[in-house]
A and B are shown apart, each in its own frame.
Chain A
Amino acid sequence: MNRFSIWRLLPFAVLIIFTAPLLIVLSTLFGSYSENWFHLYEFVLADYIISSLILVIGVSILVLFLGTVTAWTVTTYNFKGKKVFEWALILPLAIPPYILAYTFTGLFDPFGDANNFIRSVFNLKDSTIIFPNVRNIYGAIVVFAFTLYPYVYLVSRSAFINQSKSMQEAARLLGLNQLEVFYKLALPLIRPAAIGGMMLVIMETLSDFGAVDHFAIQTFTTGIFRTWYGLYDLQTAMQLASLLLLTVGIFYFIERSSRGDGIYTSNNSTFSPNEEVNLTGLKALTAFLVCFIPIFIGFLLPIVELSLWAYEVNLGFFNNKFLENSINTLSLSFLTGLICAALALLINFSIRYKPSILVGRFSALLSIGYAVPGLILAVGMVQLLVYLDNLAFSGFDIVLTGSLLGLVLAYVIKTYALANSSIESGYERISHSLDDSSKLLGSTSWNMLGNIHIPLLKTSILTSVLLVMSDVVKELPATLILRPFNFETLAVSTYIYASEERMIQAAAPAIAIVLIGLIPIVLLSKMIRSSRPIENRE
């Protein structure tokens, strides 16, 4: 038995590395509390909490609605455009919320392009403002929901596909109409998947800085930065960050423990896919709009506005520096994707191979990095690297600090949750009886992993690499602080221009981020097109 103890130890070893920078942040909770806490408590803390709460609730409701309804529409019905929508619905993933926020203000501010356009078309007076102000919490809810709903869409769609036809037939026989089948049967059944996707959305929303800062909304994250930059009080800022971390942690564990209720692997031999209902006329139009509107708001609109901006400057941005930044961005994100996928695979395997409640709980902790604001993670990381430098390389120059290693490690910690969620749900679909048979037939752990699981998980592994890549391409705050000398990514150059509100110069790198983010997403959508339940079973 000792031979296999590596599978017991692995999650713990990774956990130590992953949590060290977070523990550095959390350890501030046990430090001293400055008098700034009285000030925060009396004047602003309530604002931070309330607006974060409204944001999270609003975004959750909207993504749940958008994600599940679109997924249901494309899996249940057949209508014109459905084949395109199936994959196009995830395109908004390529748009980081901060870029959608920039383009929203560019369009909908009183003298933004959208208002100007309508005014010039209908020859209206300058004082006529058509679109509502977007620089508020409702604008932010829309921005987050329309860029992040694909997380819910992706998992809901594959869950709907895997629902057996016989179940729905039974429901129809018992007198439910199509709509009732959706919300009384199909929706409750995909609850674990949809909630899993929603948790990613919530974590991303809570840790965002760029979009809420641009809209000047006082959330927890902006409060953290305000305390750090304005009150010069990093200790209090890290304590605030710790509270945010703990809050998210609570959500996270509630979600994890509610998952245990049912096992959703289907090894039913009577499984057969649903037949699609053909739609025509008004119903087809409705289905079309249901799918088109999210893509329009979350993808087409920002692309149009970015293109308008890019058109205003000459094409001088396609220079060496731009190329170098693109290569930096691509190679970093690919490397991170590989590391995350490999780790997630090994860890999920170890949990499966040597099930233990303790290991399971601990490995759930690994995903918490996703919820940490990048800059706070970076601060913890710098302190960790400096400590390691002093420990291992004392007498030498600093080695780890300001190296790509630190940056990649931060990315891995931040995006591991994405890789894990994909591989974990892949594992949930592999029947445990397969493992038992292979054990009975005497295969070793590596054997089982290499010959049985990896071939079955091919899609999940690719998905996890791609999800991680599309997220790393957008990452900004940790990159800013951890990157080596003279090292820029596309997100960094976008930020540099956008922070000066030079949007037309920010447009080029922003478009490049979207384009690079599209590569994984196009591959992902290819897989979506080919992911039919029949193939899943082979």
Chain B
Amino acid sequence: MKKIQLILLLSFFGHVIMSNEVNVYTSRHYDSDDLLYKEFTQETGIKVNIISGKGSALLQRLKSEGSNSPADIFFTVDAGNLWKVQKEGLFQSIQSDLVLSSVPENLRGPNDEWTAIAKRARVIFYNPENVSEEMIKDIDYEDLSNPEWRNKIVVRSSSNMYNQSLVASLISNLGEEQTESWANKLVSNFARKPQGNDRSQIIAVANGEADLAIANSYYIGIMLSGSAGEEQLVAAKKVKMAFPNQKNRGTHINISGAGILKSAPNQKNANRFLEFLISKKVQKTMVDKSYEYPILESIRPSDEIASFGTDFKEDQISVKSFGELNPSAVRLMDRSGWK
């Protein structure tokens, strides 16, 4: 109790400087991440201080705090947010040779302002009982607007950043006009008004409410692990995952990524933190616990995720275009009536 009171008292007077620490603003909130941070502290003696929240809200806090900000690291689950911080000029270039040599160039900022930590694919889930192998083979995102899928597709609301990134990547690949006519037709293929999150879409497909669901890859891993309950496990076992656009540009990829801020008070520690996140050991833990794809080629995804195939083709378009085109994507979805 004494300790808690002391902490309460101290935190009233703001952030108290302690010598050996690293301050992380993060929009990832996975329990497994907390364990990783503890491991980092054990290994290096550097304390990890966390503030988590929505990416945009954290960015706003960063901007307001300006050069006084205590933040060292900005860590987020969406490339768009990384791009925004980069555009504000708040990141410094990553100097670590280890990071630069292990992370592929298309998964880093244009001037190494940030680096990807893990990847996720936005894929299509289907129930083999209702959708034949023939129908799903070689499917492209573009095909989702075909009349054969009328009233058969479920996807969450267009307020969700993963949908915004997907549409932004389509604009980047196909142009705005073609993407808009695609979105208009896609909306008329919806089996229901967009609702729930990615898991609800997978469950809807498992239960036969719809034929296809657009959702992120790692959700099926969490569901299959059983940690989300019996009902989700049963549903997950009924569905399969298809990687779109394998015959052409590849499946849409988004990243979890992080960068060091220009105003970082603990630059050295921040550097060590990034190096820690892309180390083999941590990458392995991450893919096993959060079911993302690793950024190191030598690491194999978790068994649950690997069972759907590991060597699929990824859309190589730089993740930075998601950020740039995100507002256009939102306006486009508004116009098409994608609620």
Contacts and interface: CB of A to CB of B under 8 A. Distances in A.
Nearest to A378: B57
Contact of A480 (B49, B54, B68): B54
B2 to A, nearest CB: 12
A222 interface: yes
Contacts, number: 160
Contacts of A501: 196-200
A43 B64 contact: no
Contacts of B53: 480-481
Given A397-B15, A399-B14, A483-B51, A230 B8 contact: no
B275 interface: no
Contacts of A213: 159
Overall SS of chain A's interface: helix
Interface in A361-408: 375, 378-379, 382-383, 386, 389-390, 397-405
A324 interface: yes
Interface string B212-253: 000000000010000111110000000000000000000000
B175 interface: no
A484 interface: yes
Interface stretch (B126-134, B266-274, B280-288, B325-333): B325-333
A415 interface: no
Contact of A481 (B61, B228, B330): B61
B29 interface: yes
B142 to A, nearest CB: 23
B330 A231 contact: yes
Interface string B60-104: 110011101110000000000000100000000000000000000
Contacts of B194: 216
Interface in A209-247: 213, 215-216, 218, 222, 225-226, 228-234
A397 B51 contact: no
Contacts of B331: 36, 39, 43, 231
Given A379-B60, A501-B196, A403 B15 contact: yes
B203 A111 contact: yes
Q: How large is the interface on B (under 10, 10 to 19, 20 to 34, 35 or more residues)?
A: 35 or more
Given A135-B196, A234-B60, A386-B65, A43 B15 contact: no
A485 B60 contact: no
Given A232-B326, A398-B14, A105 B84 contact: no
Contacts of B230: 312
B157 interface: yes
B207 A110 contact: yes
Interface in A294-331: 309, 312-313, 324, 327, 331
A228 B56 contact: yes
Nearest to A498: B197
B314 interface: no
| Residue from B58, B157, B330, B339 with most neighbouring chain A CB atoms (10 Å) | B330
B81 to A, nearest CB: 9
5 contacts: A402-B14, A402-B15, A403-B11, A500-B197, A503-B229
5 tightest CB-CB pairs across the interface, nearest first? A230-B330, A485-B49, A403-B14, A496-B29, A399-B14
Interface of B: 4, 8, 11-15, 17, 23, 29, 49-58, 60-61, 64-66, 68-70, 84, 156-159, 161, 164, 193-200, 203-204, 207-209, 222, 227-231, 326-327, 329-331, 334-335, 339
